[in-house]
Amino acid sequence: MPSLYAEIEINVSRRRVWQALVRKDQWLYWNTYLYDCDPSQAFKQGKDVDLSLRRLPGEEETAFQPIVTLLQPEVCLKWVSAIPGFVNEHVFQLQETGRDRTKYIHQENFSGLLTRGVFPFIRQDEQQGMRRMAREIKRYVEGE
Provide the Cα torsion 35, 37, 43, 44; round to 10°. Answer: -150
| CATH fold of 3-143 | Alpha-D-Glucose-1,6-Bisphosphate; Chain A, domain 4 (3.30.530)
Instruction: Give dist(CA 82, CA 45) in Å, integer.
Output: 17
pTM for this predicted structure: 0.94
pLDDT one-digit tens code per residue, 88-131: 999 999 999 999 999 999 999 999 998 888 888 888 999 999 99
Instruction: Give dist(CA 36, CA 52) in Å, integer.
Output: 7
